[in-house]
Structure 1
Amino acid sequence: MRLFIVLLLCLALATCSSQPPRVQVINPASAELTQSRSFKLIAAEQAVNGPLPFAERYRQLDQLLREGLTQRGYHASHKAQILVYYWLAVQDSPLDFHLETAPPTPLGPYQALHRLRDSTGTLRIRLTTPEQHILWEGLTSTGLSPQRDSAELLERATQALLQQIPVASP
Structure 2
Amino acid sequence: MRLFSVLLLCLALATCASPIPQIRVLQPASPELAGRGTFELVSPEQAVEGELPYRERYAQLAPLIRQGLASRGYQAANDAQLRVYYWLAVNDTPLEFKVDQAPPSPLGPYQAIHRLRDETGTLRLRLTDSAGQVLWEGLAITGLSPSRDSAELLASAVRALIEQLPAAR
TM bracket, shorter-chain basis: 0.7 to 0.9
> Which residue of 2 is the match for residue 158 of structure 1?
158
Unaligned runs of 5+ in 1: 1-12
1:47 partnered with 2:47: yes
C-alpha deviations, 1:133-153, integer Å up to 9, x for none?
100000011111001111100
Secondary structure at the aligned position of 2:73 is classed as coil
**Partner of residue 112, structure 1:** 112
Does the alignment pair 1:130 with 2:130? yes
Question: Unaligned stretches of 5+ in structure 2?
Answer: 1-12
Q: State how far apart, in whole Å, the 1-side matches of 2:103 and 2:30 are.
A: 61
Equivalent-residue separation in structure 1 for 2:72 and 2:104 (angstroms):
62
Structure 1 window deviating more from structure 2 (28-37 vs 100-109): it is 100-109
Question: Which residue of structure 2 lines up, in the alignment, with residue 62 of structure 1?
Answer: 62
Identity of aligned residues (%): 59
- Per-residue displacement from partner, 1:76-113 (whole Å, max 9, x unpaired)? 01111100000000010011111111146666421111
Cross-structure match for 1:25: 25
TM-score for the superposition, normalised by structure 1: 0.86
- 1:34 Cα offset (Å): 2.3
Helix, strand or coil: the match of 1:147?
coil
Question: Could you tell me which residue of structure 2 aligns to residue 74 of structure 1?
Answer: 74
TM-score in terms of structure 2 length: 0.87
Q: Is the 8 A contact 1:37 1:74 kept in 2?
A: yes
Q: How many residues align?
A: 156
Shift of 1:44: 0.1
Name the aligned partner's letter for residue 90 of structure 1: V
Answer whether contact 1:104 1:110 (CA < 8 A) is retained. no
- Alpha-carbon displacement from aligned partner over 1:45-80 (angstroms, at most 9, x marks no partner): 111111111111111110001011011011001111
**Does 1:149 find its partner at 2:111?**
no
Cα RMSD over matched residues? 1.7
2:3 corresponding residue in structure 1: none
CA distance in 2, matches of 1:122, 1:76: 24
Give CA deviations for 1:114-165 in whole Å, capped at 9, x if unaligned. Answer: 1110111110000000101100000011111001111100000000000000
Which stretch of structure 1 is more off in the superposition, 69-78 or 103-112?
103-112
Q: Match of 2:125, SS?
A: strand
